[in-house]
A and B are shown apart, each in its own frame.
Chain A
Amino acid sequence: MATILKLDNVSKLYGSLRALDGVTLSLPDNAYISLLGPSGSGKTTLLRVIAGFERQDGGGVLLAGESLDGVPAHRRNIGFVFQNFALFPHLSVARNISFGLENSEGTARPSAGVIAAKVRDIVALTGLGGLEERGVAQISGGQRQRVALARTLVTEPGLVLLDEPLGALDANLRTRMRDELRAIRERLGVTFLHVTGSETEALAMGDSLIVLDRGRIGQIDAPDTVYNRPASPAVARFLNCYNLFEGSLGEGAFVGPAGRFALDAAAAASKGGGPAYAVRHDRIEVRPPAAPAGADEVRIEGAFVASEYTGATQLSFFRLDDGRLVEVEAHLSHRSPAAYGADERYGLVWKRRDALVYA
């Protein structure tokens, strides 16, 4: 697959803070890439550097093989969709959409007829028909999102950057817009780089998923690979579905304050970034305290604290003897929610091969 965007060792400093610390990656053409990072990981900075709103302090950005060094934002042919939409409040929906075509630089400006036709097409594609003459305050949040998208797409950018584009929408609308974003992108065949702080959004949207960790790339992989095999404890933490234990790697076991976890030969220390030991919330089974562990299992004990019922799952919290919390997620598709006694002790058991060990 052809590469549309290449970042080569890009860094950006704010005073002494390294917002971006040697980011190197390449994005394939015609793909949906999601970029996941907690707040402060530098994800917005990265987008702003790519868009040309800010200049990197080191490294290079290449779009379709050409260096963007010194190229101002308006000549980069990179679209940007803002979290707050940043629509032009003094213009109607139609004028917002046609703005880029009508005001592009010099000879590139298409004729009025061409502009009208393009606007019509994109209005149809984004489902904004009938709203053309409305002011941008007279439409709903979801419609504003579409205007922001339409306004960008109509200029036919080589790459579209989306900075938490669904963050301003309510949960219901967010799920619907996810599907729409994907569908629109597929129709146009342009690469979307979608930045989000939500792990579910990142997993659901991307053909591939980039995890940004304190200004560095934590992992670039297909979403299911990232989910099942996070490359480092930090990535596992962002995914918000792993229990992480600290400790050290000993002979055939991981030893920490929580206990001694025997290792499966196959799972033993393949990844860096630790030492740490990770078990997914939904890989842990809760058993009565008397029940023993099997030969291929690891068992610890904890006191029940509370549980949270979300409909499809039940998330329970157990406190270990050293005070830390372990989360257990039970999928309720084939069972009813369990009732645990407050402060009673239970055995928490998982298969050795389900654990991820970081050296």
Chain B
Amino acid sequence: MQSTLIKPALATYTALFLLFLYAPFVVLAILSFQTGPEGGPQFPIIEWSTYWYRHLLGLVPPSRIAPLPIDESLLRSLGLAFMTMVVSTVLGVASAQAFRTRFAGSGIVFYLIVLGMMVPGVLVGLGMSLVANALGIDRHWWSTAFVLHVVYTFPFAFLVMLAIFNRFDESVEEASWSLGVPPGRTFRKVTFPLIFPGVLSAMLFAFTLSYDEFSRTLFASGRDLTLPLAIYGTFSVEIHPNVFAFGVLTTLFSFALLAVYAALMTLSIRRAKRVALQEEAA
């Protein structure tokens, strides 16, 4: 009786939710096909065109609208996100591994790590720039900003890995030791393959969080801008649909990343299924 009402209600709610989630992006995508260079970032669409995509790639004759300063900042952001991903994931796996056994002060250390994702980014960025000034350190995207990105994304990687280890059956490691396999090799040959889905998720978190990080980077990155900063910089003059076109392209890039993630995930889920079956039998 009740479920006949609840189900359609929930379905409507979900549909509305998804609509609100994606509506801004859909608007962006539509407006990115506005004609140029005279068309602006608003409805109605004067004429459909791919002008702003060509503008982005420098394929149109020079006009009064300057090209988006993205080429270098894009590379910077990708580089920064990659470095952050590698370091945060390694730290996340290592520290979650440490937390598998209780150690003195583990409670405090836990909160200190998690604090990195809690504190307001603007304050941390400002603090970092003050510290850097006081110590006479130059601010760069690859130094001060990089450190802040790691401080920010490492807790995410750590929490993901903590959840993974929480469900990890330690007896396979003990089995490996009892077969004469040293702990280091056991980690590489047994533990790591089994926690790999979690490692992938931690990498994805670290990369995406770093790639569009704004507030921390704002104060800490110095002269050379990362992508979010560069795009924000163009807003202060005038907004043109080329930003929307770029937004569409980055989103497609993100989807490509997700596809890679999904592919790797399905591979390791096949393994996970074997684990589940084994546990079921036990």
Contacts and interface: CB of A to CB of B under 8 A. Distances in A.
Interface of A: 51-53, 72-80, 82-90, 99-100, 103-105, 108, 135-137, 141, 144, 148, 151-152, 155, 157, 168
B178 A74 contact: yes
B100 interface: no
Which A-B residue pairs are the 7 nearest by beta carbons? A100-B179, A84-B282, A137-B274, A137-B277, A80-B178, A86-B171, A73-B177
Contact of A103 (B174, B181, B282): B181
A74 B194 contact: no
Contacts of B8: none
A168 B280 CA distance: 10
Interface in B219-276: 271-275
Contacts of A88: 172, 175-176, 190
Interface in B127-177: 169, 171-172, 174-177
A99 B181 contact: yes
Nearest to A97: B179
B281 A89 contact: no
B54 interface: no
A52 B274 CA distance: 28
Contacts of A80: 174-175, 178
Contacts of A141: 281
B105 interface: no
Question: Which of A72, A84, A90, A135: most chain B Cβ within 10 A?
Answer: A90
A86 B175 contact: yes
Contacts of A82: 171, 174-175
Contacts of A78: 178
Interface residues of B, number: 29
B208 to A, nearest CB: 27
A108 B174 CA distance: 20
B249 to A, nearest CB: 37
A115 to B, nearest CB: 13
B152 to A, nearest CB: 32
B271 A90 contact: yes
Contact of B180 (A104, A136, A144): A104
B271 A89 contact: yes
A148 B278 CA distance: 12
B47 interface: no
Given A83-B282, A84-B279, A168-B281, A77 B194 contact: no
Contacts of B176: 74, 88, 99-100, 103
Interface of B: 169, 171-172, 174-183, 185-186, 189-190, 193-194, 271-275, 277-279, 281-282
Contact of B273 (A77, A104, A137, A157): A137
Nearest to B196: A90
Nearest to B275: A89
B193 A90 contact: yes
A100 B193 contact: no
Contacts of B194: 89-90
Given A90-B274, A136-B278, A144-B278, A152 B178 contact: yes
B172 A74 contact: no
A86 B190 CA distance: 11
Contacts of B174: 51, 53, 73, 80, 82, 86
A280 to B, nearest CB: 35
Nearest to B280: A137
A72 B185 CA distance: 14
23 contacts: A72-B183, A73-B174, A74-B181, A74-B182, A80-B174, A84-B171, A84-B279, A84-B282, A85-B282, A86-B172, A88-B176, A89-B194, A89-B272, A89-B278, A90-B193, A99-B176, A104-B179, A105-B182, A137-B277, A144-B281, A152-B178, A157-B178, A168-B282
A104 B189 CA distance: 12
Contacts of B175: 80, 82, 86-88, 148, 151
A155 B176 CA distance: 11
Given A90-B271, A137-B273, A151 B278 contact: no
A284 to B, nearest CB: 40
B195 to A, nearest CB: 11
A51 B176 CA distance: 12
A38 B271 CA distance: 36
A280 B81 CA distance: 74
Nearest to A54: B174
A74 B180 contact: yes
B50 to A, nearest CB: 47
B274 A73 contact: no
Question: Which of A72, A73, A85, A105: most chain B Cβ within 10 A?
Answer: A73
A137 B279 CA distance: 10
